[in-house]
Structure 1
């Protein structure tokens, strides 16, 4: 074995003797990357290592965890050693880390996280702290959209970016819990937000081992950086403190552009449509006519002063109850109706927005709410 490959071989061989590495995603991903990238070196020594890699892949145990968060990650260190000596293979790595993206549901990328309210404005990454995720899910603080772990500085960050840019309701991302040793996923997300990526999609300023994003585009990275503000709580695990931060940030949330723009799903960066008017044209407002029936059905709005809760019942025109939506914020209920496409007609959407605001105001001001006829 040539001196260039011997340290890599020795590290991986040491890892393959450890039970924890045989069941870990770090080893599986590293060996998969080597299988994909070593052929590009076209040398006898690289072919020898490739032969060993194929044998090791067959010797792996069923996957039990994506990452244990070891302070010294053997496969990651081996890969770092190799890419330091052969920078050209960096672009061929992570090829086995592609994930499926769903176009029919949110979040589009599956993972170890829990969705609580997809219309809420705050997302939380608990980094390597699974127990913190469980506690936040149990507490379910208002304003929390999605919470889950982010253990790696590449595919883990890819998922964060992809899931956030596909939900314009999210305006804040809290990083909390234990940082992942070696991978430094929390620091990498902060670096991505502050600095972006270089031409090779490597996160500028990341201290992680392999912070290369392979599953998102430069456009998505730029949208992520513009869309969210990051609240750095790395290292903190106090659930009450985090719930307070979620509450505070949700109050600062603004209506996302994508929900008040033209609504075009193909736009990379949604913008409001504007009309070009010649001169100072004055248009006389007309009295509204009756709203045409929405094919999606009709809604009954029921505010409760006792519970400070707004209940919305969605019916078909055969008077069949389709679903019930509950919430304390008219904004959140409205976004839930729109994002799920339960309202088809724009005039009906405007009517519902007005009525939901009146319903919320009736709770705050303690007056009787009577739903206006459409």
Structure 2
């Protein structure tokens, strides 16, 4: 761990331990021994190794009191918010509206964009919700955060329905009915 509390060599999205006191990080490092068995898939071999390691009888860390005594590092207060909306209507987006369907033969989500006067304007096809939503945002075809959130929810449902063979109907819960 660096002085900035970044985990050395970590590839994750945010490999930072800024809310954990240095004493706890060090105590953890003393308690853990990394044994890389990434390419070992034989259950018997792994079971034998775990048994051998357990038989070593590791001693407790002498400074384990740091876990109970240490105060968390303050870096700001998290404000807990209630879920919102409760079915509150989404304001009409001046860029138009979207209709989502599935093309199961092509294994794609189909997004049809209509202008505010109901004129069909754009079609986007992709296998993932992410691909469609990125195209919508890239081309400026959504202008309101609540509408963008709604589109993300509907596209995630459409992708799940496509992947798992569920019935998809926009603005409805997913169903297990045969498709």
Larger RCO: 1 or 2 (CA < 8 Å, sep 6+): 2
> Which is helix-richer, 1 or 2?
1
